[in-house]
Amino acid sequence: MSVEKIRWLQFPAAAAVKEDIYEPFSYEQSADVRRLHESLADYAATPLVSLDGMAGAGGVKAVFVKDESPRFGLKAFKGLGGTYAMFRMICKELGLDPAATAFEDLLREPYAAKIHELVFITTTDGNHGKGVSWAAKLFGCKAHVFMPVGTVEVRAQAIRDAGNADVVITDMPYDACVNYTAALAEENGWLLIQDTSWDGYEDVPLWIMRGYTTLFYEAAAQLKKAGYSQPTHIFLQAGVGAMAGAVAACAMASFPEKKPVISIVEPKEVACFYESALCGDGKPHAATGSQETIMAGLNCASPCTIAWDIIKQCASYAFACNDAVTEHGMRILAGPATGEKPVVAGESGAVTAGLLDHLLKDEKYQDLKKEMGLDENAVVLLINTEGDTDPDNYKKVLGK
Ligand SMILES: Cc1ncc(COP(=O)(O)O)c(C=O)c1O
């Protein structure tokens, strides 16, 4: 018997759409985020890669992958959120106006000595912690990073190597680990820099999400340069959904006249957005699967509440995919059509490419493809959110 690889459903129509929640993600409102990122020595726009072979064979106009694997030398996009949120948190601690403060100001006295005393804390399944560790080194402070049960040591070591953090792999699943670090922050007066929100903890995750706007506005400019005014379809992988929520909000704010079709993509065994859409009551729900997946960055059982509020009103489709889908995506991106640039995509980065390839080509998805409007006018945007963050598994999947 063949194993069902992909489940999908349509998001229920939102009861009332609040356009103003996209506002903090607009091009104008996120200018300060770009100002910070562009002032960092390691900043460079990441590439937008055109997958002409996939587009041609799949009957769509274009497929683009925003390749975040080279971002800041961290192999993932997450440093965008960590740096911006840490900047805002430092400004708040020091009583500085972020609009009137530059990154270099913080490296000088009297601020540097005060920042040196600050301690940040977070839970991560890998890439966010790496971003926080790296940001702590940039700003000259320290971070404690906690990781859920099952984390491979190579990911913990990558966080230590990235900057200025100590790292502990706990015996707790992700959500329990988040609660634990929140309690430790409270007890010790440390600053919790968590990339998911809940009632009463929203400023920091919103800053983290706004940090991701840089990748969207780079991609929008790169698309324009390639001759496309906008994407018609965007596939976004979700863990807690902060990245997906941020990018979806950017797209809604940028293209109000012709809103792109947004699809949320998750691992089948930990699909909190899919399951919340299935419940259909407009509320976020925790995933009920086994939480076993190779997509470590997407292994988060509860939606970020800010992201949920955005996604529930602007996403059209939710997909839950098994690990074979992302393995397929990893192989496609590593060895695209002749003449195309290969993209190194890790487990959490490649699932949308694997899914899209199935939707475009497999006989059983042709009705869905048509319903989604994946036709000769479609311009599809994917985001490869990570490179080979687990190099051993990457080699295994590619058969090396
Ligand atoms: C590589 C990668 N892709 C996607 C995600 C999902 O981001 P979010 O948790 O904001 O949904 C993560 C989260 O850690 C990640 O590491």
CB 126 within 8 A of CB 174: no
Which residues, in sequence order, are CB contacts of 171 under 8 Å at separation 6+? 149
361: which strand partners?
A: none
Distance 108 CA to ligand 1 centre (A): 33
- Give me the active site residues, please: 78, 125
Which residues, in sequence order, are CB contacts of 166 under 8 Å at separation 6+? 143, 144, 145, 160
Tens-digit pLDDT string for the chain (400 aa): 456 799 999 999 988 889 999 999 999 999 999 999 999 999 999 999 999 999 999 999 999 999 999 999 999 999 999 999 999 999 999 999 999 999 999 999 999 999 999 999 999 988 999 999 999 999 999 999 999 998 989 999 999 999 999 999 999 999 999 999 999 999 999 999 999 999 999 999 999 999 999 999 999 999 999 999 999 999 999 999 999 999 999 999 999 999 999 999 999 999 999 999 999 999 999 999 999 999 999 999 999 999 999 999 999 999 999 999 999 999 999 987 777 889 999 999 999 999 999 999 999 999 999 999 999 999 999 999 999 999 999 999 999 8
Distance 243 CA to ligand 1 centre (A): 7
Output the pLDDT for position 3.
62
Fold of 6-76+210-397: Rossmann fold (3.40.50)
Domain coordinates of the chain in residue numbers? 6-76+210-397, 79-194
Distance 113 CA to ligand 1 centre (A): 33
Handedness of CA 44, 346, 82, 242 (dihedral sign): positive
Nearest-atom number in ligand 1 for the CA of 347 is: 1
Tell me the CATH number for domain 79-194: 3.40.50.1100
CB 240 within 8 A of CB 302: yes
Distance 297 CA to ligand 1 centre (A): 5
Kindly provide the b/e burial profile for residues 124-158, where b requires at least 16 CB atoms within 10 angstroms of the residue's own CB.
bbbbbbbbbbbbbebbbbbbbbbbbeebbeebbeb
Nearest-atom number in ligand 1 for the CA of 128 is: 14
CB 293 within 8 A of CB 267: yes
Judging by DSSP bridges, how do beta strands 6-10 and 315-321 pair with one another? antiparallel
Which residues, in sequence order, are CB contacts of 184 under 8 Å at separation 6+? 121, 144, 190
Q: What residue owns the CA closest to ligand 1's atom 16?
A: 297
CA pair distance 78, 97, nearest whole angstrom: 24
Output the pLDDT for position 238.
98
Nearest-atom number in ligand 1 for the CA of 246 is: 10
The residue whose CB lies within 8 Å of the most ligand 1 atoms, and thus the one to mutate among 262, 298, 308, is 298
Handedness of CA 357, 359, 363, 366 (dihedral sign): negative
168: which strand partners?
A: 146
CA atoms within 13 A on the CB side of 374: 29
Same fold, 6-76+210-397 and 79-194: yes
Around ligand 1, the residues with Cβ closer than 6 Å are 76, 78, 125-128, 195, 237-244, 297-298, 300, 348-349, 385-386
Distance 398 CA to ligand 1 centre (A): 22
Q: What residue owns the CA closest to ligand 1's atom 15?
A: 297
Q: What residue owns the CA closest to ligand 1's atom 2?
A: 297
Nearest-atom number in ligand 1 for the CA of 125 is: 14
**Which of 385, 382, 387, 398 has its CA nearest to residue 50?**
382
Distance 244 CA to ligand 1 centre (A): 9
CA pair distance 289, 221, nearest whole angstrom: 39
Q: What residue owns the CA closest to ligand 1's atom 5?
A: 297
Nearest-atom number in ligand 1 for the CA of 243 is: 10
Q: What residue owns the CA closest to ligand 1's atom 13?
A: 297
**Which of 161, 74, 75 has its CA nearest to residue 387?**
75
Distance 386 CA to ligand 1 centre (A): 9
The residue whose CB lies within 8 Å of the most ligand 1 atoms, and thus the one to mutate among 208, 243, 300, is 243
Q: In 10 A of CB 388, how many CB atoms?
A: 20
262: which strand partners?
A: 234, 315
Distance 238 CA to ligand 1 centre (A): 6
Q: How far from the centroid of its chain's Cα atoms is residue 203's Cα? A: 18
Output the pLDDT for position 15.
83
The residue whose CB lies within 8 Å of the most ligand 1 atoms, and thus the one to mutate among 68, 178, 216, 237, is 237
